[in-house]
Amino acid sequence: MATPHHPRRGDTRHRIQDVALRLFVEQGYEKTSLREIAEHLDVTKAALYYHFKTKEDILISISDDLTAPVDELIAWAEQQPRTLDTKHEVLRRYHEALWGAADLFRFVQENQATVRDLAIGEAFKARMTAVNELLREPDATVAAQVRTTTALFALHAGTFATRNIEGDPEEKRAAVLQVALDLVTQAHRDLLPG
């Protein structure tokens, strides 16, 4: 899987995805053409069309590949008891999945209006809703529900919000996860009697 520091290597399909995502993030989805993607790869448009017919096809393939760990996490968590330990593990795994797909999530954040109109927009929303449901108890107080939702947003926004905070990137990354864990712990405590 690609990370912000380790692009995927290998076949042409992955090279196309990597270049396209970089251009989508840098220029925006609407301002990036298939011709530009082909030029950056030093291939013909015909070679690009062999793998992908449209920009949206490229984006869907990127999303499917990079969000597969989230889908695996959801499937795993649905089979687990709804304990605080399970919720913490959901957050840890979700945090890792976000880190592994940081460029995709940056693209989604910076191109929200465009994403909303594309197929990945609904898929992205469905995944976030599913993870939130895994963290939130059905009979939770409003405050507990806000805490679990905020925990997820902290993981998403924390990647970008910590850019202006001095410190080691790994320390900042760990702090973002700790904030999310603290929020879910407090939400879980709200469920306890007394």
155: closest CA among 104, 97, 84?
A: 97
The answer as to CATH 1.10.10.60 being correct for domain 12-62 is yes
Q: Is the pTM of this model over 0.75?
A: yes
Residue 189 pLDDT level (bands cut at 50, 70, 90): confident
The domain ranges of the chain are 12-62, 67-189
What CATH code is assigned to 67-189? 1.10.357
| pLDDT of residue 9 exceeding 50 | no
Which one has a higher pLDDT value, 77 or 99? Answer: 77
Q: What is the pLDDT of residues 160-172, one digit of tens each?
A: 777 788 888 889 9
Cα angle 63-68-71, degrees, rounded to a multiple of 5: 115
